[in-house]
Chain A
Amino acid sequence: MKTASGSIQIHTGNRRRHFAASVRKHKLHLLMLVPVMAQFLLFKYGPLYGVTLAFKEFQILKGITGSPWVGMANFQRLFTSYDFKNVFTNTVTIAFFKFVFGFPAPIILALFLNELRFPRFKRITQSISYLPHFISWVILTGIFMELLSPSRGPVNALIRLLGGEPIFFLGSPRYFRSTLVVTGIWQGVGWGSIIYLAALGGVNEELYDAARVDGCGRWRRIWHVTLPGILPTVTIMLILAVGSLVDDNFDQIFNMLNPAVYSVGDVLGTYIYRQGVINMDYSYSTAAELFRNLISLVLVVSANFVSKRVNEYGLW
């Protein structure tokens, strides 16, 4: 990307003429870019103007431009609202548990798959584990409602068999978050492992042999050869995971959430949707969303910074 301007530097004196000639040469190419740039400017940059709503009081008849400025009033309302405190706590808690259990899960799966010797069996297992990735959370929620149902579900049948009380996984505030974490892992672990398996395939085979000659057992080999070998991939995935801590999982939570578990399951995304789209409180929800987007930007930038300091590689 950075070498693109290289050809211009040769004729610094004739820069403008050179540029004009280059435009003529690439006339059709530039023309092709027009619809693409239009799409990005309209649908990606256009909404950025709407972010000003966070500092305005939206009035339908006046539109975004005509609505009066109100300074930080929306944010004041946001930070003093009880709902928001609850929603923010839920977001952080759920994101934390999803991260702690969900991030290592595909790495562990990949490590074990990598030790497995039977290629055919391995391939079939992998394919099966990817499948949930291709099915929408609308359908997955329907499937889990059956599976986890307190009256019909096999999971609760098993619990009863073991002498426990049936648990309403999707409807009890006590279990809802754990249900989110476990079903989230079930859905994403297979697909997530692909990238680590590819990284594992790239680890130098000779290092394993050297480790074996040095008398390393399986676990020490994994610790001293395999893990350092996939560390760059893990770091990149970690940055991406940290960056999406506050805005990920929307599809899952949006579909699984029900009024019985609002107290523990309502997160920023679902709250913004309800306040904005359902209650049409546009300014307030834009403020909430701006707050969330700023956090996620700060998270990804700092994760990248830390990773560059520690490992010397980052996203940019």
Chain B
Amino acid sequence: MKERNSAPKPRNRIYESRGEPFFQAILVVIFALLSITFLYPYWHVAVTSFTSPDYASASGFKLWPRAWSWDAYKHMFSAHFLWSGYLNTIKVVLLGWSCSLTGVVLGAYPLSKRDLPLRSLFTTIILVTMFISGGMIPTYLLVNNTLHMRNSYFAIILPHCISVTHVIIARNYFMTLPEGLEEAAIIDGANSLQVLMRVVLPLSTPILATISLWVIVSNWNAYFNCLLYITDSSKYVLQVVLRRIILTDSKEMTAASEAVANSTDTDIVTLRAASIMLATVPIICVYPFLQKYFVKGMLIGSLKG
């Protein structure tokens, strides 16, 4: 894995064509422009959120706020629904993370045992769901009408908490652990659960961390299940709150959220921008530090199981 991630070795100078420096210069320019295209959108929204509402609807590129203002953030900070959204998202992330991690470990560990009875049957049961699924409506009816899980966070989490790819990745990782360690623990009188908790899991922190990151990000960004199953607006997660702020037009919004009750259209531009910032900043802050783990995880995940 390390080898693959590292930059290609500097190639022998003798073979280098004369056009090379020119070509490299063009590449650098192209990629610099590309980076700007990737970064500017966030910057634009950030600047808008700090601009005084009187100037916010000015057209064009925004490199710096024309007139500084904290109004949008003041509005948002006093908005009750935003904080409840934050709190609910944190609840969902924690609950989702613990369910997913437990599920993945409990699924992957037994399947990593080569002589587990009916192992191929269990593996097939899990794998088939990658290709065949009941779909949105039958799942909705099951969770909503049959199991009556409406307005419970378990409705958001349970249907999707164990990802097939995560199970396969964790299983493959467990299979690479030396068997001798587990055998030694068994000889010392440990049962399978103790082996798992005290020997296997401590050795598997890299893979568990990677899966945790995936699960946390996907739960942080999840909105669709909340839209389906949560009707009580005090239980809305952050993304759904944002969706209402961002996607509904100003009239509906006035009815939907108290913070914008007395606001004009120009205010809404800055309020939207501020709410986008408040939901994105946590991700952008941790992103630079965690990015390489995601890439590593993505590569582990793409190797065939």
Q: Which residues of A contact B (CB under 8 A)?
A: 1-5, 7, 19, 22-23, 25-30, 32-33, 35-37, 39-51, 53, 60, 63-64, 112-119, 121-122, 124-125, 127-132, 134-136, 138-139, 141-147, 151-154, 156-157, 160, 186, 190-191, 194-195, 198, 201-202, 205, 208-209, 212-213, 217-218, 251, 254-255, 269, 272-273, 276-277, 282, 285-286, 289-290, 292-293, 297, 300
Chain B neighbourhood of A300, CB < 8 A: 131
Chain B neighbourhood of A117, CB < 8 A: 10, 24
Most buried by A among B9, B35, B137: B137
| SS class, residues of chain A in contact with chain B | helix
The residue in chain B whose Cβ has the minimal distance to the Cβ of A27 is B192
- Cβ distance B222 to chain A, nearest Cβ, rounded Å: 8
B202 on the interface (CB 8 Å rule)? Answer: no
- Cβ distance B142 to chain A, nearest Cβ, rounded Å: 5
Q: Are A26 and B110 in contact (CB under 8 A)?
A: yes
Q: Are B141 and A282 in contact (CB under 8 A)?
A: yes
The 3 closest A-B pairs by CB, nearest first: A47-B134, A50-B138, A136-B221
CB-contact partner of B138 in A190, A195, A251, A286, under 8 A = A286
- Cβ distance A33 to chain B, nearest Cβ, rounded Å: 5
Alpha-carbon distance A141/B143, docked complex (angstroms): 28
Q: Are A138 and B223 in contact (CB under 8 A)?
A: yes
Instruction: Assess A47 versus B139: contact at CB under 8 Å? Given A63-B145, A136-B221, A142-B246.
Output: yes
Which listed segment binds A: B26-34, B72-80, B90-98? B26-34
Instruction: Assess A4 versus B119: contact at CB under 8 Å? Given A39-B103, A272-B137.
Output: yes
Alpha-carbon distance A255/B58, docked complex (angstroms): 25
Would you give 8 A-B contacts (Cβ < 8 Å), ordered by A? A22-B115, A35-B102, A37-B125, A43-B160, A49-B134, A115-B27, A154-B61, A269-B136
Contact with A along B115-147 (1 / 0, CB 8 A): 111011011011001011111111111110110
Q: Are A26 and B116 in contact (CB under 8 A)?
A: yes
- Cβ distance B179 to chain A, nearest Cβ, rounded Å: 14
Q: Are A128 and B38 in contact (CB under 8 A)?
A: yes
Q: Are B129 and A44 in contact (CB under 8 A)?
A: yes
Chain B neighbourhood of A157, CB < 8 A: 59-61
Count contacts between A and B, CB distance < 8 Å. Answer: 288
| SS class, residues of chain B in contact with chain A | helix
Alpha-carbon distance A1/B115, docked complex (angstroms): 10
Q: Are A5 and B110 in contact (CB under 8 A)?
A: no
CB-contact partner of B38 in A1, A19, A131, A285, under 8 A = A131
Alpha-carbon distance A134/B298, docked complex (angstroms): 13
- Cβ distance B172 to chain A, nearest Cβ, rounded Å: 11
Q: Are B279 and A47 in contact (CB under 8 A)?
A: no
Alpha-carbon distance A294/B18, docked complex (angstroms): 55
Q: Are B162 and A39 in contact (CB under 8 A)?
A: yes
Alpha-carbon distance A255/B12, docked complex (angstroms): 50
The residue in chain B whose Cβ has the minimal distance to the Cβ of A22 is B117
Alpha-carbon distance A129/B31, docked complex (angstroms): 10
Chain B neighbourhood of A119, CB < 8 A: 7
CB-contact partner of B135 in A51, A60, A130, A139, under 8 A = A51
Q: Are B110 and A29 in contact (CB under 8 A)?
A: yes
Which listed segment binds A: B203-211, B254-262, B281-289? B281-289
Alpha-carbon distance A40/B106, docked complex (angstroms): 13
| Known pairs A4-B120, A160-B59, A209-B15 / 14 extra A-B pairs, C-beta < 8 Å | A22-B115, A22-B116, A32-B193, A40-B126, A42-B142, A127-B291, A135-B283, A138-B239, A139-B239, A154-B44, A198-B4, A218-B23, A276-B140, A285-B137
Chain B neighbourhood of A2, CB < 8 A: 120
Q: Are B11 and A208 in contact (CB under 8 A)?
A: yes
CB-contact partner of A255 in B61, B139, B243, under 8 A = B243
Chain B neighbourhood of A64, CB < 8 A: 141, 146
Q: Are A28 and B283 in contact (CB under 8 A)?
A: no
CB-contact partner of A290 in B41, B135, B193, B291, under 8 A = B135
Alpha-carbon distance A308/B6, docked complex (angstroms): 32
Q: Are B295 and A130 in contact (CB under 8 A)?
A: yes
